[in-house]
Structure 1
């Protein structure tokens, strides 16, 4: 019988585990990046929806008899608000498009405003999709 004193070379952790570690690490980075982008998106969207311009205009639309006649009752936001709003102390500007729906149809609220202490609206209107009509909320 021969005495065998062979040296057994054990593979390093990386050599044994790279096949599962690399795809898992890459997938984790992609998921984290996606979550980061989603957090930014929902943060910006909620900032727009929490603004006083958004809330006041939506409330005004919900109580406007002409718009209720065109879109029906229970008018609410419908989908993703787009545009931008920027505030700095008592100044800022706003350009928003808010999709809305009622029991009879859909529409879009358009708001363009500038803030210097209080909001001054240059555009505040509702576009009714079914009749292609625009209702100016600034005209009383």
Structure 2
């Protein structure tokens, strides 16, 4: 019987070539996703809590004759509509661009709002309503 010495190599020495890059890629991806999700979640939460932003925009939409003609009266939105749309705050949360789904008595559409905060009030730079059937974009504020 041979008395050969069996040597074993350590796990790290054998596997470092795939383990190290995998760890680096995982950490980098986690940081990127966390940073992106954190900003998005913060934007949605702020828009969710700021009723006056979209309620005043809907009032302005309801005052537009073309919107009334095509959509009918726009109903107050359900707060969960904020999560379906797109929200982006900039300039230390004093400017916002938001898209929400609106439901009228005749048809549905999307409302795009661009506004900035002036003290405690929102000043609207742009409000448009987009409708699929018939395909039309109604400018409420340009």
TM-score by length of 2: 0.60
Describe the SS at the equivalent of 1:9.
coil
Q: CA RMSD in A?
A: 3.3
Equivalent positions of 1:111-130 (< 5 A) are: 111-115=115-119, 118-119=120-121, 121-123=122-124, 125-130=126-131
The answer for the alignment partner of 1:80 in structure 2 is 86
Q: Is the 8 A contact 2:114 2:124 kept in 1?
A: yes
Match of 2:138 among 121, 133, 138: 133
Deviation at 1:51, TM superposition (A): 5.1
Structure showing greater radius of gyration is: 1
Number of residue-to-residue matches in the alignment: 123
Q: Which residue of 1 aligns with 2:42?
A: 44
**1:35 to 1:62, Cα distance in 2 relative to 1, 3 A:** same
2:17 pairs with 1:22: no
CA contact (8 A) 2:95 2:116 kept: yes
Which digits, 9 at most, give the CA deviation of each residue in 1:84-123, with x for residues without a partner?
2536xxxxxx2212212224322312212322xx33x443
Listed as ranges, the gaps of 5+ residues in structure 1 are 88-93
Match of 2:7 in 1: 9
Distance 1:71 1:108, change over 3 A: farther
In 2: Cα distance, 1:66 partner to 1:47 partner: 28
State the partner residue of 1:91. Answer: none
CA 1:48 to 1:23, structure 2 compared with 1: closer, same or farther past 3 Å?
A: same
Ranges in structure 2 where 5+ consecutive residues have no aligned partner: none
TM-score for the superposition, normalised by structure 1: 0.60
